[in-house]
């Protein structure tokens, strides 16, 4: 079914406002004024990989010939979300790759559509660009990152040794009232103009106040707001990426026979813990680990729990990575 231009614009507005009012842990969305060009990448330092869709900011840690684990972050918070988990994986002797999804962090903003094909191409490019030819890697996906790695493994199981999913997106979730109201003509724009600054300020305070949250969380998050295209990327992702409709991909992953472990906080309100039951149905061999009292932000609020779980799973010796 084709969507008319007017309906599509309304959907984009709704997605844009939903991202602002509900999902973004940021104080403001203004200030996207610095071009993310070659000069800025040089100023930022770090590593960048050029792919057909644009430059990707990444970090590689660990011994060059060690087994490789690639960590894929979620919808809005870029790769620094893994900072507390990294030491556990490195101490276990793994080679770890983290990168910023397109439209986030210091990676390029190639422009809409931010759909399933774009993020799949990006992950494939990262794997091909940073690992040996035909190497098998382990993948870890958090929230939307869980959907990205699942889709990748369902399409290319021969490149994947195992997956760890942390509160993965891809199953149906109910939209809050604010998101439904943004679908009404004019009302969405009014909600944004009147309430967005207040809601955003409140949201960042909530995120920063979570027990275990890094003290510099807001500062690190806001760094990406300097570069044009961030908010547009989030709005496009909400419209174009099937964040609540990937069950067929999970079933394909289950049929592949790849070993999969899931970590899920039983107090998760963003990607509800109840979805873990559907995940277990679709992945018959799933190893599900429940984190009692864990919210959605467990990667950066409870890295001391997430890290050991990942190490335990990757070092069971029941399957090879690169070997």
Segment 219-250, tens digit of pLDDT: 998 898 899 988 788 877 877 899 999 999 99
Tell whether 11 is covered by a domain. Answer: yes
Segment 79-124, tens digit of pLDDT: 999 999 999 999 999 999 999 999 999 999 998 899 999 999 999 9
Pairing of strands 54-61, 95-99: antiparallel
Angle at 119 between CA 243 and CA 105, to 5 degrees: 95
Tell whether 82 is covered by a domain. Answer: yes
Residue 309 domain boundaries? 5-314
Q: Which helix (H) or strand (E) holds 190?
A: helix 187-209
Q: Which helix (H) or strand (E) holds 183?
A: none
Paired strand residues for 289: 263
Contact 24, 217 (CB under 8 A): no
- Res 15 pLDDT > 60: no
Segment 33-59, tens digit of pLDDT: 899 999 999 999 999 999 999 999 999
> What does the pLDDT read at residue 27?
39
Measured CA distances, 21 to 166, 168, 201 (Å): 24, 21, 10
- Res 31 pLDDT > 70: no
Q: Which is more confidently placed, 127 or 323?
A: 127
- Of 68, 10, 41, the closest CA to residue 235 belongs to 10
Tell whether 140 is covered by a domain. Answer: yes
Structure tokens that stand for 253 in this block: 């992953």
Tell whether 321 is covered by a domain. Answer: no
Q: Residue 105 sits in a domain of what CATH number?
A: 3.40.50.1820
Tell whether 322 is covered by a domain. Answer: no
What's the domain count of the chain? 1
Gyration radius of the chain over CA positions? 19
Q: pLDDT band at residue 190, thresholds of 50, 70 and 90?
A: very low
Residue 183: half-sphere exposure toward Cβ, Cα within 13 Å: 8
- Res 206 pLDDT > 90: no
Tell whether 323 is covered by a domain. Answer: no
pTM: 0.86
Tell whether 49 is covered by a domain. Answer: yes
């Amino acid at each position: 079914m084709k969507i008319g231009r007017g309906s599509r614009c309304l959907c984009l507005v709704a997605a844009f406002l939903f991202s602002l009012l509900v999902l973004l842990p940021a104080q403001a969305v203004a200030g996207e004024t610095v071009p993310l060009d070659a000069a800025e990448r040089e100023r930022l330092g770090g590593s960048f990989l050029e792919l057909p869709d644009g430059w990707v900011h990444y970090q590689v840690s660990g011994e060059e010939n060690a087994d490789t684990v690639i960590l894929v972050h979620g919808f809005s918070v870029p790769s620094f979300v893994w900072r507390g988990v990294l030491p556990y994986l490195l101490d276990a002797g793994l080679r770890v790759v983290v990168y910023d999804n397109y439209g986030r962090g210091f990676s390029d903003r190639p422009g809409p559509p931010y759909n399933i094909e774009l993020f799949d191409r990006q992950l494939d490019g990262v794997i091909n660009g940073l690992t040996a030819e035909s190497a098998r890697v382990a993948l870890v996906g958090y929230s939307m990152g869980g959907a990205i790695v699942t889709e990748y493994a369902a399409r290319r199981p021969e490149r994947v040794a195992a997956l760890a999913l942390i509160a993965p997106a891809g199953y149906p979730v109910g939209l809050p009232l604010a998101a439904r109201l943004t679908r009404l003509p004019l009302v969405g724009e009014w909600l944004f103009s009147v309430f967005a600054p207040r809601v955003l300020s409140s949201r960042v305070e909530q995120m920063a106040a979570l027990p275990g949250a890094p003290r510099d969380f807001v500062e690190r998050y806001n760094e990406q707001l300097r570069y044009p295209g961030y908010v547009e990327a989030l709005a496009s992702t909400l419209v174009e990426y099937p964040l609540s409709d990937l069950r067929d991909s999970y079933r394909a992953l289950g049929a592949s026979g790849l070993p999969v472990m899931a970590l899920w906080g039983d107090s998760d309100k963003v990607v509800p813990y109840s979805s873990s039951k559907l995940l277990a149905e679709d992945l018959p061999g799933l190893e599900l680990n429940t984190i009692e009292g864990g919210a959605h932000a467990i990667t950066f609020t409870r890295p001391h729990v997430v890290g050991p779980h990942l190490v335990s799973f990757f070092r069971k010796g029941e399957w090879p990575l690169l070997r």
